[in-house]
Amino acid sequence: MPLPHVAWIGLGIMGSPMAENLLKAGYPVTGYTLEPHKLDRLAAAGGTPAASVREAVADAAVVVTMLPADPQVTAVTSGDDGILACARPGTLLIDMSTVGPRTATGLAARAASHGVRVLDAPVSGGEAGAVEGALSVMAGGDRADFDEAVPLLRTLGTTVVHCGPHGAGQTVKAANQLIVAANIQACAEAVVFLEKSGVDLAAALDVLGGGLAASAVLTRKRHNLLARDFTPGFRIDLHHKDMGILTAAAREVGAALPLGSLVATLVAAVRAQGDGGLDHAALLRGVERLSGIAS
Ligand code: NAD
């Protein structure tokens, strides 16, 4: 069977390499995003740039969105010239952006009235995971739609799991962001503590990475922490957005998240101090400032 024609909307840090992995696997991909140079990059990888969402989705069987946040997902999917208005009935829309569970369930309800099927399928694994096709994909929606999407999703990620009905993928992603932020904050505090104590940081991180303190965060962010390299990666601005999703969703279901609330405040503080455009490893800069280290 020929591979389905994919429309990809949102070719940023994550979307570009993910769309390129589909092209490498043989999927025809038509893309649209706001920055022209990212469309040039898609064309260089063998994809077809489009001039609008309408043009991108016209011939697509599957539409993937990888957009910054809830307002962009709602505008691109549900606006006058959006995906729901322009896609063919029967199209499968896979929203891989990180948005609130309520945005996902609202989109699924609106899509149903257009005959469009939807999965929420946010990811974890960062830019490196996107480049390597090694993301973790957490999906919500109808099981049959998920099963249909699995071959495509396995091109993008190595762990691909159906978590439940519409919105369940986004709920799991919110939990993921709690764990990641708390883990980065703990690593950042350990770094400041170790350096102020005069311990060799590289040696300390080596041995910590071999014991119970080991984590994907410690491995993937080691260079950022050692070199103070905060090139994004995953921007503090986006993690701030995700902590807002988490705290709102937790409030709705009556889950108390004392650590989550504290880490959300620390992410917000680093952002308020002007570091919103840096990688989330820049939580280290917040700990340094609290500890009297100029950064
Ligand atoms: P990004 O800002 O690099 O890319 C977003 C892209 O969306 C841009 O290319 C922009 O042109 C496009 N876009 C915005 N509004 C648009 C519109 N109206 N029409 C068409 N295109 C539009 O963001 P990113 O880092 O790639 O993240 C995308 C999503 O993935 C976010 O929800 C983020 O939370 C999530 N995420 C990011 C990472 C990461 O490490 N960067 C990891 C996991 C999940």
- Residue-wise pLDDT for 47-79, tens only, equals 999 999 999 999 999 999 999 999 999 999 999
118 and 48 fall within a common domain? yes
Question: What is the average pLDDT across 207-214?
Answer: 98
Question: What is the average pLDDT across 186-203?
Answer: 98
233 and 111 fall within a common domain? no
215 and 233 fall within a common domain? yes
Residue 173 among the catalytic residues: yes
pLDDT in the model for residue 1: 75
Taking only the tens place, the pLDDT of each residue in 122-146 is 999 999 999 999 999 999 999 999 9
CA-wise closest residue to 136 among 220, 60, 73: 220
Q: Report how far residue 87's alpha carbon sits from residue 247's, in angstroms, rounded to the nearest whole number.
A: 34
| Average model confidence (pLDDT) across the chain | 97
Q: Is the pLDDT of residue 295 over 90?
A: no
Quote the ligand 1 centre to 291 CA distance (angstroms): 33
- 255 lies in which domain range? 171-290
Q: Is the pLDDT of residue 174 over 90?
A: yes
Give Rg (Cα) of the chain.
20
125 and 191 fall within a common domain? no
Amino acid present at 180: V
pLDDT in the model for residue 294: 81
To test ligand 1's pocket by mutation, which of 8, 9, 11, 14 has the most ligand atoms within 8 angstroms of CB? 14
- Ligand 1 atom closest to the CA of 127, numbered from 1: 40
Of the three residues 165, 182, 211, the one that is the final residue of a domain is 165
150 and 177 fall within a common domain? no
Measured CA to CA in angstroms, residue 84 lies from 27, 61, 107, 168, 268 at distances of 22, 13, 9, 21, 34
Taking only the tens place, the pLDDT of each residue in 155-168 is 999 999 999 999 99
Of the three residues 147, 165, 183, the one that is the final residue of a domain is 165
- Per the confidence metrics, is the pTM higher than 0.75? yes
Question: What is the average pLDDT across 189-204?
Answer: 98
Question: What is the average pLDDT across 68-95?
Answer: 97
pLDDT in the model for residue 166: 98
Give the number of domains in the chain. 2
Residue 13 belongs to what H/E stretch?
none
Of the three residues 140, 165, 190, the one that is the final residue of a domain is 165
Ligand 1 pocket list (CB less than 6 A): 9-15, 32-35, 38, 66-69, 72, 75-76, 97-98, 123-124, 126-127, 233-234, 238
159 and 29 fall within a common domain? yes
Quote the ligand 1 centre to 209 CA distance (angstroms): 30
Q: Tell me which of 2 and 230 has the higher pLDDT.
A: 230
177 and 153 fall within a common domain? no
- Residue 1 domain-assigned (yes or no): no
210 and 89 fall within a common domain? no
